[in-house]
Amino acid sequence: MKIWLAGARPRTLPAAIAPVLIGTSLINIDGEAINWINAMLALLVGLLLQVAVNYSNDYSDGVRGTDEVRVGPIRLVASGLKTPSQVKNAALLTYFIASICGLFLALRTSPLLIIIGAFAILAGWKYTGGKNPYGYNGFGEISVFIFFGLVATMGSYFAQSEKITWQSLLLSIPMGALSCTILGLNNLRDRPKDELVGKRTLAVRLGDTKARYLISGLLLLAFFTSLAVVTITPWAFLVLLTLPLQIILIKGISSGTSGSALIPLLGKAGELQLLTSLLITLALSITRA
């Protein structure tokens, strides 16, 4: 069980938790009570999809041989700890459980969530799976921004209100930007090895210097859009508390740190996303219509 937990890459889970916290808390602005059943279902769907994507990436990269020499999280297939079929089955099972949770949520809210969920599962599998995985062509960040930013945040609010608003759109931008920051750092760490095996992530396509500019830009986008939440609640100024972490990350990225030395920055990026979401959630929770 410990091997499967490690293969699920628990450090990536804040990317699934953070947007659900914010999207759910936004209902306070409407002066309504949180529907805790819908909130838990939305959280389960987010977490299960994140784990399923991690397993499916492990499987697809493992059978392609692109994960054989890596730093960072454990790779189940590449390390020989689990067979490809075992990891593939784990991914499919997790996607299935996520689908069941999503179906219950859709039955409680809107059938539209079934369609969105189907696209999310397809995007998760095609990231590194199939004949032409888009993650191997530099489109991973776009998908992450859409599904772990826009869809996760706005979808969590929709599960509470059955509405799409400009407020939920604004709140989804920092979440998407921070999720892309984590992916960008991951790809920057793996850039030399990815280039050797023909995995053309955005970091490979841009090159080292431009990739660092992009990641720093995503951090700035996340920070200033988080501050823009003051248009929803003045308590959003609490996100200024994230400034020290922002500075540490931008300095670390600009310094030219590479390879395994980027792993601590990845951890701090996850901490930044979770801290940002907690501060915005607090701001929304103490603000009522």
| Backbone torsions φ then ψ of 184, nearest 5 degrees | -60, -45
Asked if 141 and 184 touch (Cβ cutoff 8 Å), the reply is yes
Average pLDDT in the 218-235 region? 96
- Is the pTM higher than 0.85? The answer reads yes
Residue extents of the structural domains in the chain = 2-285
What pLDDT is stored for residue 14 in this prediction? 86
The confidence score (pLDDT) of residue 82 equals 87
- Helix orientation angle between 14-25 and 36-64, rounded to the nearest 10 degrees: 160
Q: Per residue in 163-209, pLDDT tens?
A: 999 999 999 999 999 999 999 999 999 898 888 888 899 999 999 99
Say which residue the tokens 């979770």 belong to.
274
Look at residue 10 in the predicted model and tell me its pLDDT: 84
**C-alpha distances out from residue 45 to 97, 104, 233, 288, Å:** 8, 10, 28, 27
Nearest Cα neighbor of 125 from 92, 155, 149, 151 is 92
Mean pLDDT confidence for 202-217 = 95
Q: Give the mean pLDDT of the chain.
A: 91
Regarding predicted confidence, which is higher, 94 or 196?
94
pLDDT of residue 31: 86
CA 53 and chain centroid, separation = 10
- Residues 6 or more apart in contact with residue 266 via CB below 8 angstroms: 11, 72, 182, 185, 186, 189
What is the band of 153 on the pLDDT scale with cuts at 50, 70, 90?
Answer: very high
Q: CA of 152: how far to CAs of 24, 39, 208, 247, in Å? A: 10, 12, 30, 27
Q: Is the dihedral of CA 150, 125, 59, 94 positive or negative?
A: positive
* pLDDT given at position 3: 86
User: Would you state the pLDDT for residue 93?
Assistant: 96
- What is the percentage of the chain residues whose pLDDT exceeds 70? 98
Answer whether 287's CB lies under 8 Å from 235's CB: yes
- Secondary structure in 3-state letters for the chain: CHHHHHHCCHHHCHHHHHHHHHHHHHHHHHCCCCCHHHHHHHHHHHHHHHHHHHHHHHHHHHHHCCCCCCCCCCCCCCCCCCCHHHHHHHHHHHHHHHHHHHHHHHHHCCCHHHHHHHHHHHHHHHCCCCCCCHHHHCCHHHHHHHHHHHHHHHHHHHHHHCCCCHHHHHHHHHHHHHHHHHHHHHHHHHHHHHHHCCCCCHHHHHCHHHHHHHHHHHHHHHHHHHHHHHHCCHHHHHHHHHHHHHHHHHHHHHCCCCHHHHHHHHHHHHHHHHHHHHHHHHHHHCCCC
Whether residue 234 has pLDDT greater than 90: yes
CB atoms within 10 A of CB 95: 22
At 197 the pLDDT is 81
Among the residue ranges 72-86, 97-111, 112-126, the one predicted with the least confidence is 72-86
Contact criterion met (CB below 8 Å) for 287 and 231: no
Q: pLDDT tens, 3-46?
A: 888 888 888 888 899 999 999 999 998 888 899 999 999 999 99
Confidence class of residue 240 from pLDDT cuts 50, 70 and 90?
Answer: very high
Residue 72: predicted pLDDT: 61
Residue 69: pLDDT above 70? no
Model pLDDT, residue 67: 61
pLDDT tier for residue 52 given thresholds of 50, 70 and 90: very high
The Cα–Cα gap between 146 and 198 comes to: 25
pLDDT computed for residue 151 by the predictor = 96
Q: CATH classification of 2-285 is 1.10.600, yes or no? A: yes
